[in-house]
Amino acid sequence: MHPNRARVLAAEIDAAHLRRRLLDADADGRDLPDLAAAYAVQRELTALRTARGARRIGWKLGYTSAAMREQMRVDAPNLGPLLDSMLVPDGGAVPAHLVHPRAEPEIAVRIGADGEPVEVRAALEIVDSVWRDYWFTLEANTADGSSAAGVVLGPVLPADGLDVLAVQVRRNGEPAGRGSGAAAMGHPFTALRWLAGELPRRGERLCPGDLVITGGLTAAVPIEPGDEIAAVFGDGTEVRVRRP
């Protein structure tokens, strides 16, 4: 993809988010022939956001679980940047500018100086696709930063046994989904290794201090006004977010 075209598409996606306007992936995403083009647009989109003062703090993984791939009709994982502007406090509110947010329970990892995990936390990712009705190709979703819109960090989790760690999503106290750490490519650290291998192909790398969310462990849950979403891990470790 020509760099000028990547910049134009990134500007269109950026403007749509800022104006709370949804795009049609079949029309507006038609110039994304492959993942290389999609990541080129993603880089330009990130550049627009960092130019306004946002700072990249890590990475998100998308579609590491069969549940998410099936829900969103994609057949491979992808990645996108996490920005400091996306951080939401535990129990806090989703950003007011989001159009049709959804929540996914995730396992978050902090990267140490040696490139290995030094901290594991319960997390919720907030996604908010620019594409109408969440109808997109993998390429269109990748260009949009894999729909990343927010991340809520909860309590620290033990690093042992993450693959068998159960998670339940609750919406206003009612069950809305179940999964386990194994949903993320068999183990969240396997997903992390995939990211470490994939980033250099995109001209990036994992850095000490990076925050990585390793992929949704259940299907994403819509967050309507008045909703509270909780992810409950293992013996009761919780992380929550609400939408006023």
Amino acid present at 61? L
pLDDT digits (tens, 9 = 90+) for 160-200: 999 999 999 999 999 999 999 999 999 999 999 999 999 99
Is the confidence at residue 148, as pLDDT, over 90? yes
User: 């850095």: which residue's tokens?
Assistant: 207
pLDDT at 139 over 90: yes
234 contacts 226 by C-beta, under 8 angstroms: no
The structural domain count of the chain equals 1
What pLDDT, on the 0 to 100 scale, is given for residue 99? Answer: 98
Give the model confidence (pLDDT) of 21-44 as tens digits: 999 988 877 789 999 999 999 999
Q: Is 211 exposed, middle or buried (0-12, 13-18, 19+ CB in 10 A)?
A: buried
Rounded-to-integer distance, Cα 32 and Cα 238, Å: 39
- Percentage of the chain beyond pLDDT 70 is 100
So what's the pLDDT on residue 1? 74
Q: Is the pLDDT of residue 2 over 80?
A: no
Sequence-ordered strand ranges (E) for 32-187: 56-62, 78-83, 87-88, 102-111, 117-127, 148-156, 166-171, 174-180
pTM of the predicted protein model = 0.96
Biggest CA–CA distance in the chain, Å, is 51
Q: What is the CATH number of the domain that holds 187?
A: 3.90.850.10
Residue 133 structural domain: 3-242
Tell me phi and psi for residue 155, to 5 degrees: -65, 160
Give dist(CA 6, CA 29) in Å, integer.
Answer: 11
Q: 24-28, 92-96, 105-109, 236-240: lowest mean pLDDT where?
A: 24-28
Q: What is the mean pLDDT of residues 209-228?
A: 98
Given strand 174-180, what is the order of strands in its sheet?
174-180, 166-171, 228-233, 237-242
